[in-house]
Amino acid sequence: MSARAGLAALLLAAWAPPAVAAAHSPAHLDYLLQCQGCHLADGRGAPEKGVPALRGSVARFLTVEGGRAYLIRVPGASGSPLSDAELAAVLNWIVQTFGPAEAARAAAPFTEQEVRRFRRPPLDDVAPVRNRLLDKIR
């Protein structure tokens, strides 16, 4: 478990019932620490503020060319303090948790090597890349 995940587990244990704290995987804890600030705990995001929803859509990016690299290179992911292995685990957790389920089941898991390969440089202008990928998905 990473130091961040350990800290999150400690904080969660202090404020949540033991059964709730124990139910969170290290990847889920890293999501809570690194991603929920923008995408919210349930993945609904804040589309009105330019933060896309993850739930019901994120795994679809894995069905088109460039989608995997996009998810790795978005600034919040690419610039996070997570190691490549931790980021791969969080991306896998996000895909499996927020789906949609059929696209998530068909997707190959992210690997540490894949994250290392695509993580740098981060995307400077995310919206146009996301829009091109969404056009491909449609």
Separation between Cα atoms, residue 28 and residue 91, nearest integer Å: 10
Supply the mean pLDDT for the chain. Answer: 89
Question: Is 60 exceeded by the pLDDT of residue 117?
Answer: yes
The percent of residues in the chain predicted with pLDDT above 90, rounded, is 80
Asked whether residue 116 is domain-assigned, the answer is yes
Q: Which tokens is 43 given?
A: 């993945």
Residues comprising the chain, all counted: 138
Residue 20 lies in a domain: no
Inside any domain, residue 14: no
For residue 118, pLDDT beyond 70: yes
Q: Is residue 9 part of a domain?
A: no
User: What pLDDT does 24 receive?
Assistant: 74
Structural domain tally of the chain? Answer: 1
pLDDT of residue 79: 95
Per-residue pLDDT tens digits for 38-55:
999 999 999 999 899 999
Is the predicted pLDDT of residue 8 greater than 70, yes or no? Answer: no
CATH number at residue 122: 1.10.760.10
Residue 35 DSSP symbol: T
Q: Which region among 16-25, 76-85, 90-99, 105-114 has the lowest average model confidence (pLDDT)?
A: 16-25
Backbone angles phi, psi at 46, to 5 degrees: -145, 70
d(CA 34, CA 37): 7
Instruction: Give the three-state DSSP class for 98.
Output: helix
Q: What is the pLDDT of residue 87?
A: 98
Q: What pTM value is reported for the model?
A: 0.84
Residue 19 lies in a domain: no
- Residue 70 falls within a domain, yes or no? yes
Average pLDDT over residues 97-121: 97
36 lies in some domain: yes
- Structural domain including 30 reads 26-137
